[in-house]
Structure 1
Amino acid sequence: MDPTAALKARFSLEGKTALVTGGTKGIGQAVVAELCALGAKVYFCSRSQQDVDAALASFQQQGYAVAGMAADVANKEPREQLVQQVSDAFGGSLHILVNNVGTNIRKPTSEFTDQDYSTVLTTNLESAFKLCQLCRPLLKAAGSSSILFNSSVAGGPLAMFSGTLYAMSKAALNQLTKNLAVEWAPDGIRVNSVAPWYTATPLAMQVLQDKEFEAKVVSATPMGRIAQPSEVASVMAFLAGPGAAFVTGQTLAVDGGYSVKGFYP
């Protein structure tokens, strides 16, 4: 193969298939667009049929090969239906699984209710764990595949103002990344996570509307700004592709230097 063509192939997703959860907004939407632009065929989900329809229209207008369905992956039956649809769509194999869905409830620890605990941990952690289990046969069938988790710098090693439930769920994803990377490597499945800092998504903008708080976030970030969803998506696309073929078990911070700053006035 021509050296230039070989180089381009390392950063192409032509012929690859992908499932992205929460693919209609924020980082998830950017991931779908990035994977499609690199040549992948993508199936995505969202809890809202209206959001799915709007996203499908937008992606298809751009010429992307996409399909989607409404499914709340925090619940067992919709998860199973989603994976069956993906299996049918892609002939029983899957190259890329992006566990992107997430939510947060910000409260002091002593004020969290049982329902709060269930909502955050089920959405952020259980959905990802169960989807990995369900998709493993499809990922193994692909021969060379990749799982990605949308984690957070809130998952450690530093503590930050995000709420303990959110931090717990993301820390668990980071450990799950390591365990699955080792256990499933013989099946040709790589597993990595991306840990963003504050990114301009609908969830983050709920707190960044407070300009005083936004200024504190920016001042804690060496690069001096909030990330864009596309900047997280491009890292996920790299980790999903052949250019990262020997990378597994890693959690990569996409945080403008926040996690390495420490006390550096």
Structure 2
Amino acid sequence: AAAEAAGARTEVCLGDLAEAGTAAGLVARAAEAFGRLDQVVSNAGIADRRLIGEVDHAALARALRLMPEAFFALAEAALPHVTRSDQGRIVAVSSFVAHVFAPDSLFPVTAAAKAAVEALAKSLAAQIAPTGATVNCVVPGYTRKDASGHSALSEASWKKAAERTPMGRIASPDDIAAAIAFLLSRDAGLITGQMIHVDGGLTLA
């Protein structure tokens, strides 16, 4: 609604990216609805805090389906569109958990899945660079999202997260969106294969 109020055309499509065929279907639906497809943002993810020895193989398999496999499927389906666009862009949203490993803040299966997304993004960036299309990752740090969401933290946990962040504050969704918007813009036309950390210096600590 907010996007439409700002003058944008929107098309809402629902689906589970962990299921085969969903990603290709979304790309086809978007291309049909708008007549073309220039850019893709892959933002699927789950935050699983269970440690190795607690988390099961099924959870790892689902994380891999939902993140790197879904990104692969989205990118594969979108490739013919973005590589012929004059502003072709693919942006994947990763996570600091693939870069920061503290004993009291581990997300093993999520970290593995997001690291795989980053590797795929770098490979694809090199592959399609001659076409002028770009592929990058935005890597958020601690980000305050919907308080009722599946990975919502307590206020005490947010305070601890802010203390761990050198800049002393938690990111907002708008901070992450701003980085994505820049990477989609014409000004970012020579930026490709990069991991853009939006984390207040968390990965420096």
C-alpha offsets along residues 153-176 of structure 1, whole Å, 9 cap, x if unaligned?
A: 1112x3242411001111112222
Does the alignment pair 1:113 with 2:56? yes
Flag the structure with larger Rg: 1
1:193 corresponds in structure 2 to 137
Q: Do the aligned residues in 2 keep the contact of 1:148 with 1:192 (CA within 8 Å)?
A: yes
Amino acid at match of 1:256: G
Partner Cα separation in structure 1 for residue 41 and residue 148 of structure 2: 20
Q: Is 2:180 the partner of 1:180?
A: no
Structure with the higher strand share, 1 or 2? 1
Q: Give the structure 2 partner of residue 246 of structure 1.
A: 190
Q: Quick one: distance in 2 between partners of 1:170 and 1:83?
A: 21
Query: In structure 1, how many angstroms separate the alpha carbons of the residues matched to 2:47 and 2:147?
Result: 8
CA 204–224 in structure 1, closer or farther in 2 if over 3 Å, else same:
farther
Partner of 1:25 in structure 2? none
Corresponding residue pairs, total: 203
Match of 2:156 in 1: 212
Unpaired segments of 5 or more residues in structure 1?
1-56
- Give the 3-state SS of the residue equivalent to 1:249 in structure 2: coil
Answering whether residue 73 of structure 2 is matched by residue 130 of structure 1, we say yes
Cα distance, 1:58–1:172 mapped onto 2, change above 3 Å: same
Give the superposed CA RMSD. 1.9
Scaled by the length of structure 2, what TM-score is found? 0.90
> In 2, distance between residues paired with 1:201 and 1:126?
24
1:132 aligned partner, one-letter code: A
SS at match of 1:147: strand
- For residue 79 of structure 2, give the secondary structure of its aligned residue in structure 1: helix
Identify the residue that residue 80 of structure 1 maps to in structure 2.
24
Deviation of 1:244 after TM superposition, in Å, equals: 0.8
| SS of match in other structure, 2:193 | coil
Return the alpha-carbon distance in structure 1 between the equivalents of residues 169 and 57 of structure 2. Answer: 36
CA contact (8 A) 1:155 1:174 kept: no
Q: Which residue of 2 aligns with 1:165?
A: 109
Is the 1:153–1:195 Cα contact (8 Å) retained in structure 2? yes
Whether contact under 8 Å (2:85, 2:133) holds in the other structure is no
Match of residue 226, structure 1, among 153, 170, 189: 170
Alpha-carbon distance, 1:67 to partner: 1.3
Q: Counterparts of 1:206 and 1:72 in 2: how far apart (Å)?
A: 16
Which deviations, in whole Å up to 9, do the C-alpha atoms of 1:163-211 show, x marking residues without a partner? 1100111111222221111111122220100100111123896555323
Instruction: Answer 1 or 2: which has greater helix percent.
Output: 1
Instruction: Give TM-score scaled by structure 1 length.
Output: 0.71
Q: Is the 8 A contact 2:51 2:106 kept in 1?
A: no
User: Which residue pairs with 1:104 in the alignment?
Assistant: 47
Mapping of residues 63-74 of structure 1, within 5 Å: 63-74=7-18
- The residue number in structure 2 matching 1:41 is none
* CA displacement at 1:124 relative to structure 2: 1.5
AA aligned opposite 2:120: L
Cα pair 1:194 1:253 within 8 Å, conserved: yes
**SS of the counterpart of 2:197?**
strand
Q: Report the secondary structure of 1:83's partner residue.
A: helix
Is the Cα–Cα contact under 8 Å of residues 207 and 213 in structure 1 kept in the other structure?
A: no
Please name the residue that 2:95 is paired with. Answer: 152
